[in-house]
Amino acid sequence: MSYTSLRAALLDLEKHGQLLRVKTEVDPNLEMAEIHRRVFDHAGPAILFEKVKGSPFQAASNLYGTYERTDFLFRHSIEKVKKVIELKADPTRLLKTPLRYLRAPFTALTALPMRSLGSPAVAWGETRIDQLPLVKSWPMDGGAFVTMPQVFTLPPGSNSMMQSNLGMYRIQLSGNEYELNREIGLHYQLHRGIGVHHTLYNGSEEPFRCSIFVGGPPSHAFSAIMPLPEGLSELTFAGLLGGRRFRYARRNGQVLSSDADFVITGIIRKGQKKPEGPFGDHLGYYSLTHDFPVMEVEKVYHRKDAIWHFSVVGRPPQEDSSFGYLIHQLVKELTAGEFPGIRQIHAVDAAGVHPLLLAVGSERYMPFRERVPEEILTQATRILGSGQTSLAKFLFIAADEDDPKLDTHDMPHFFQHVLERVDWTRDLHFHTKTTIDTLDYSGSGWNAGSKVIVACRGDKKRDLGREVPGQLSLPPGFGQPAMALPGILAIQGPRFSGPESYAQAEQLCNHLKGQNLDAYPLIVLCDDAPFLGATLNNFLWATFTRANPSHDLHGVDAFIEHKHWGARGSLVIDARIKPHHAPELVTDTVVSKKVDGLFAKGGELYGFG
């Protein structure tokens, strides 16, 4: 079964008891997002908002709200796509098990985009930006945003769909200095394919045409976020995963997705930028206002029964976590080819994806030498030099020879394995004054910060502490110690008020020296130790989103030897909130109380008894 539209997918979900219809009118200004968050937090169904205040169009969200529903939506194609990917990873498999891959060539045919005959469904009507469901998710957001966009561009001089780029780059529809209905903001970050096209157009006299697709079959939105090799069009993957070739049409020099619910077409102005943001983003903080490209709107097309597809992001996990889940299912066979020697890579969703990467590598070349990190250092460098993984800020990598069953997705065991073996005098490797994720404000500037590799190999060195040490002594202003994981101690410190506060971490390190804390190799200095120690996700989020390795890693009995920094005692991560950090996402109390009332008065409507 191949979905031909977003509505077809929603009706299929409804048939299987996985759709909630909200029949009362709901405000897109904060209210829809709050309802979405409540339903998501209860692992609830996809949502169809039938009456959106201020808009004639319906809206849908939470399609990918659970891993099980994500699997369900792609149940007819996922195994077929995996087989195609398996063959790409190792073509000899076709010779070894030809029956398994018998239909793989037919699956591959769906990767070829095809031009629609006649008028495409999406060109049924035209509307304006101010008639769309202008969804605003968080109180400090700069306006309404498209949160599930598929941004389509071609390089200058090309009409080949196989050279196109389709990416999920958020779009600001209203607010700030944008002239409503005429201008929208286009936000994209480092290592995004559209940047290559933008650079080419800046050296060309051609106008930089752009089309923004919203809705359509579920595979289309997913393909826009799929990390494909540069030069391989995401439209091919949309066809593969959807089990149906990507249909397109051309109107007024622009490309339309025939099966989309909406298409916004326009021209990205060369050399002009306007303030975009703030926006409550997937790290759990606001990305702040910065200048980004502006697109001049030409047309807004929509299909007859159009549904506005949106999502709500915030502190992970959220709906977009399912994208990472599905990506992992699909590309794990390609890891060894893309990263020789690497068995597993896990971008940790609970830590905001890019702030923390866990990997299992291999040591194959020098089995007769002392077992210290060697080849895994090369593998770590490869990871930090490749596409999206280059945005990792903390990279922990361990050698599989020490535990052949080591699994990066079993994070408590992974951290235990590393901390039982790590040697802070040897295993820390910094990249300073480099680029980091655009959305990460823990660094020294916008897109600027540092990275650290923790490379671990060898025999177990210590047993990890599992309770707060009874004789722990802390300096004045520090307290409430709590266990985050075995060997990881959280300590609450004074509020970080400015550069002079870095000395407080050093004060803590000096005070801890000589206290025999070998069983606690990692200490996290934080604002709220009970919060950080309460759950694994709290530890991952608060620790790795709030620390800049070059500035915030301190050590008990630290030293510098020939420009190598290390610590003879515990490593201390200063994960306190700093004045330059972006604000944390907090819901609007008035809207929250209103939604409380809606749930209380009409719980059955929202799927809660």
CATH of the domain at 280: 2.30.110.10
Give, in order, the Cα–Cα distances in Å from 217 to each of 44, 221, 432: 21, 8, 43
The whole-number average pLDDT for the span 440-454 is 87
Note whether 504 and 442 are same-domain residues. Answer: no
Note whether 166 and 294 are same-domain residues. Answer: yes
Q: Exposed, middle or buried, 466 (CB in 10 Å: 0-12/13-18/19+)?
A: exposed
Q: Which helix (H) or strand (E) holds 597?
A: helix 589-601
Which tokens hold the place of 371? Answer: 């077992």
CATH of the domain at 508: 3.40.1670
CA distance 547 to 543: 7
Q: Indicate whether 199 pLDDT > 90.
A: no
Any domain includes 274:
yes
Any domain includes 83:
no
Note whether 447 and 501 are same-domain residues. Answer: no
Mean pLDDT estimate for the chain:
90
CA distance 580 to 320: 27
Q: Give Cβ neighbours of residue 510 (< 8 Å, ≥ 6 apart).
A: none
What SS3 state is found at 19?
strand
The reported pLDDT for the residue numbered 226 is 80
CATH of the domain at 451: 3.40.1670.10
Match 């157009």 to its residue by tokens. Answer: 201
Q: Indicate whether 440 pLDDT > 60.
A: yes
Q: Exposed, middle or buried, 592 (CB in 10 Å: 0-12/13-18/19+)?
A: middle
Domain total of the chain? 3
The whole-number average pLDDT for the span 251-271 is 95
Among 241, 275, 309, the domain-final residue is: 309
Note whether 149 and 248 are same-domain residues. Answer: yes
Closest CA to 414 of 473, 344, 355, 479: 344
pLDDT in tens, 63-99: 999 999 999 999 887 777 776 666 555 566 655 666 5
pLDDT in tens, 278-333: 999 999 999 999 999 999 999 999 999 999 999 999 999 999 989 888 888 777 66
Note whether 400 and 485 are same-domain residues. Answer: no
- Note the helical H segments in 233-304: 234-242
What are phi and psi for residue 171, nearest 5 degrees? -125, 125
Between vectors from CA 586 to CA 583 and to CA 588, what angle results, nearest 5°? 130
User: Sorting pLDDT into bands at 50, 70 and 90, what band is 22?
Assistant: very high
The reported pLDDT for the residue numbered 50 is 96
What are phi and psi for residue 599, nearest 5 degrees? -70, -40
pLDDT in tens, 382-421: 988 887 788 899 999 999 988 889 999 999 999 999 999 9
The reported pLDDT for the residue numbered 554 is 97
The reported pLDDT for the residue numbered 607 is 47
Note whether 295 and 232 are same-domain residues. Answer: yes
The reported pLDDT for the residue numbered 596 is 87
User: Sorting pLDDT into bands at 50, 70 and 90, what band is 609?
Assistant: very low
Note whether 419 and 503 are same-domain residues. Answer: no
Note whether 487 and 429 are same-domain residues. Answer: no
Characterize the bridge pairing of strands 344-347 and 356-361. Answer: antiparallel
The reported pLDDT for the residue numbered 601 is 62
Between vectors from CA 321 to CA 316 and to CA 327, what angle results, nearest 5°? 145
pTM of the model: 0.90
Domain ranges, residue 267: 6-73+110-309
Q: Indicate whether 106 pLDDT > 70.
A: no
pLDDT in tens, 552-564: 999 999 999 999 9
